């Protein structure tokens, strides 16, 4: 793959987006195309009727096609204790995909989706629609199963992971 120099607008846009604090998630899938996971911050709720979210994954990611073919996914909203999990699934370590699922308490639930025990929430569902926009695929997911736990959050800000302490 040939890397091209970023334009000044692209550099400025990326700097601006680094200033946007986002929750850290590991998106997982499992099925005929295989099991994989990826760290993502581009996750957003759309509606609660029916519960639907959107997840954005770079089209150049080798995992993009796996999510499309499996047609289901789980959003694992990470807690502050999961910084290493975030790094592993972001590809920041040299750990192979299958080994990543052995390092923490991963279990399989709906559609055999890997869910991370101890995550703040696990949202499992079917991909209902896919849209290609620029460099990314937007997956629209109708949520069928939701698990919620208490804890402190994990955010991504200024190109780094940061714990978010609950004041409640």
Residue 37 domain-assigned (yes or no)? yes
Does any domain span residue 137? yes
Point out the least confidently predicted range of 15-19, 29-33, 56-60, 130-134: 15-19
On whether residue 60 sits in a domain, the answer given is yes
Q: How many domains does the chain have?
A: 1
The mean pLDDT value for 82-102 works out to 96
| Range 30-48 average pLDDT | 96
User: Does the pLDDT value for residue 70 go beyond 80?
Assistant: yes
Nearest-angstrom CA–CA distance, 38 and 40: 6
Q: What is the CATH number of the domain that holds 72?
A: 2.30.110.10
Is 9's pLDDT higher than 90?
Answer: no
Predicted confidence at residue 155, as pLDDT, reads: 95
Asked if the structure places residue 118 within a domain, the reply is: yes
121-124's contacts with Cβ under 8 Å and 24+ in sequence apart are 121/75, 121/76, 121/77, 121/146, 121/147, 121/148, 121/149, 122/74, 122/75, 122/76, 122/77, 122/146, 122/147, 123/51, 123/53, 123/74, 123/75, 123/77, 124/72, 124/73, 124/74
Mean pLDDT of the chain: 93
pLDDT tens for each residue of 41-62: 999 999 999 999 999 999 999 9
Residue 71 included in any domain: yes
Residue 2 confidence (pLDDT) above 80: no
The pLDDT score that the predictor gives to residue 10 is 81
Quick one: pLDDT at residue 19?
65
**pLDDT computed for residue 73 by the predictor:** 98
Domain that holds residue 66: 23-156
In a domain, residue 33? The reply is yes
Q: Tell me if 161 is assigned to some domain.
A: no
> Residue 1: pLDDT band by 50, 70, 90 thresholds?
low
**What residues form DSSP beta bridges with 52?**
47, 142
């Amino acid at each position: 793959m040939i890397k091209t120099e970023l334009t000044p607008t692209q550099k400025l846009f990326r700097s601006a987006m680094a200033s946007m604090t986002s929750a850290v998630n590991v998106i997982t899938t499992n099925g005929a195309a295989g099991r994989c996971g990826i760290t993502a911050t581009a996750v957003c709720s759309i509606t609660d009727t029916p519960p639907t979210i959107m997840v954005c994954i770079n089209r150049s990611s080798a995992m993009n096609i796996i999510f499309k073919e499996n047609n289901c996914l789980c959003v694992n909203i990470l807690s502050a204790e999961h910084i290493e999990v975030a790094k592993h699934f972001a590809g920041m370590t040299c750990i192979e995909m299958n080994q990543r699922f052995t390092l923490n308490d991963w279990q399989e639930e709906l559609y055999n989706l890997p869910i991370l025990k101890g995550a703040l929430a696990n949202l499992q569902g079917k991909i209902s629609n896919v849209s290609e926009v620029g460099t990314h695929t937007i997956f629209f997911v109708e949520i069928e199963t939701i698990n919620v736990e208490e804890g402190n959050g994990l955010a991504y800000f200024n190109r780094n992971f940061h714990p978010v302490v609950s004041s409640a």
